[in-house]
Amino acid sequence: MPLTTLDEKPKKPQDVETTHPMEKYLRPDRLPHIWCSGCGLGTALNAYCHALDDEGFGLDDFAVVSGIGCTGRVAGYVASDSYHTTHGRAIPFATGLKLANPEMNVTVFSGDGDLFSIGGNHFIHAARRNVDLSVICVNNYTYGMTGGQVGPTTPKTARATTAPYGNFERPFNLPNLAASAGAVYVARWTSLHVRRMKKAFQKILTKKGFTFVEVISPCPTGFGRKNGQGEALDELKSYKERSVIRDGADPTKVDIKMDPDSDIVVGTFVDKEKSTYSEVKEQQLAGKV
C-alpha cells in the first residue's frame, strides 16, 4: 500500500514527528534546507553523515569547508566546525586549516563550478602536493545556485542559460583530472548509489593524502528540465540505466556524454599509497632525504 495517496493532503511539517537519524551531525535549527525537492544534495549530505557515524566521528573531530553554490551550503548544515568560504577558495582555505592544525580532519564539500571552474587551479595544486584533504564534489553539470549556467562539467551540446545553442566546450572528466594531478584515492558514484557513496566517504575520511569522490547528482531546476532529463526521479532512473560499476577502470576512459545511451562509469578508480605533503616535509626537515 502506498504511504500517501495523491488526493490525500500531505501532512504539514508541524504535524509530523521528525528526528533525522543523523541529527547529531546536522544543525536542525537551520532546517528546512534551501535545496529544491529532487535535488541530490540532501542524499550526498546524508551519506556523508552516515559515513561519519560509521567511523565514530565526534563533532570536534572534523571540519567541513565549502565554497559558494548550492553545494556550498552543506557547510552550514553540518554541526561540526564548518566554513562557508568564497567561491572557488574552499581548497586553499582547507589547506591552511590542515597545515596549521594537522590534527584536524578536513573535508572539502563543494560544487563542480566552485571546485573546477573558478577553483580549478587550487584543486590541481592541492592534489599535486598530496595535502591530506578529503574532497567531495557534487557534480550536477551546472551552476545551480546562479540559475543554471554552463560549467566545466556540462556535457558538450547540453543546454544552459549561457549555452542556449548547446555547450560548445568539452567537459572535464573529473576522476581523470584528479588522478593525473596526483590524488591517491579517486571514486565516482551517483546519488543513486547511496551505500557505495557512503563507503567511499568512509574511505576518504580515514585515508591519508588527497582523496576525491565525485558524486553525480540531479539538479532538476538548473539542468534536468532544460535538458530533457525530466524531473529528479527521471534523472535517477537514467542513472540506474546508464551507470556501470567498473572498479579499477582507467580514469582516462570515464568521460560522461550527453547521449542518453552512453554509460556513466562509476566505481573506485584509484586507491594507492603515497607520502603526504606533511610526511614529505617532516622527512626532509629531519634530514632523512
Ligand X SMILES: Cc1ncc(C[n+]2csc(CCOP(=O)(O)OP(=O)(O)O)c2C)c(N)n1
Integer Cα distance of 155 and 227 in angstroms: 11
Nearer to ligand SF4, 26 or 104 (CB): 26
- CB 69 → ligand X: shortest distance, Å? 3
Integer Cα distance of 13 and 27 in angstroms: 17
Q: Which cell goes with 252?
A: 582516462
Decide if residue 140 touches ligand X (CB under 6 A).
Answer: yes
Decide if residue 140 touches Mg ion (CB under 5 A).
Answer: yes
Q: Which cell goes with 56?
A: 565514530
Residues 6, 10, 14: CA angle, nearest 5 degrees: 175
CB 86 within 8 A of CB 122: no
Question: Measuring CA to CA, which residue among 77, 79, 81, 83 is closest to residue 30?
Answer: 77
Select the residue whose beta carbon is closest to Mg ion and give its number: 111
Among 35, 48, 109, 143, binds ligand X (CB under 6 A): 143
Residues 2-41 that bind ligand SF4 (CB under 6 A): 35-36, 39, 41
Q: Which of Mg ion, ligand SF4, other proteins, none interacts with 176 (beta carbon under 5 to 8 A by kind)?
A: none
Among 51, 124, 219, 270, binds ligand SF4 (CB under 6 A): 219
Main-chain phi, psi angles of 7, to 5 degrees: -85, -5
- Whose cell is 545551480? That residue is 144
Decide if residue 74 touches ligand SF4 (CB under 6 A).
Answer: no
- CB 113 → Mg ion: shortest distance, Å? 5
Decide if residue 150 touches ligand SF4 (CB under 6 A).
Answer: no
Q: Which cell goes with 170?
A: 568539452
Among 51, 52, 126, 145, binds ligand X (CB under 6 A): 145
Decide if residue 222 touches ligand SF4 (CB under 6 A).
Answer: yes
Q: Which of other proteins, Mg ion, ligand X, none interacts with 175 (beta carbon under 5 to 8 A by kind)?
A: none
Integer Cα distance of 67 and 243 in angstroms: 28
Q: Which cell goes with 176?
A: 581523470
Among 90, 93, 98, 112, binds ligand X (CB under 6 A): 112
Q: What residue spans of 59-145 are helical by DSSP H?
A: 74-77, 90-100, 112-113, 120-129
Nearer to other proteins, 7 or 273 (CB): 7
Give 82's strand partners: 64
Instruction: Using CB under 8 A, list all residues that contact other proteins.
Output: 32, 34-37, 68, 70, 84, 86-88, 117-118, 120, 143-147, 149-150, 152, 161-165, 221-222
Among 40, 77, 105, 112, binds Mg ion (CB under 5 A): 112
Q: Which cell goes with 83?
A: 566554513
Give 271's strand partners: 185
Size of site (CB under 6 A) for ligand X: 18
Q: Rule CB under 6 A: which residues touch ligand SF4? A: 35-36, 39, 41, 70, 140, 144-145, 219-222
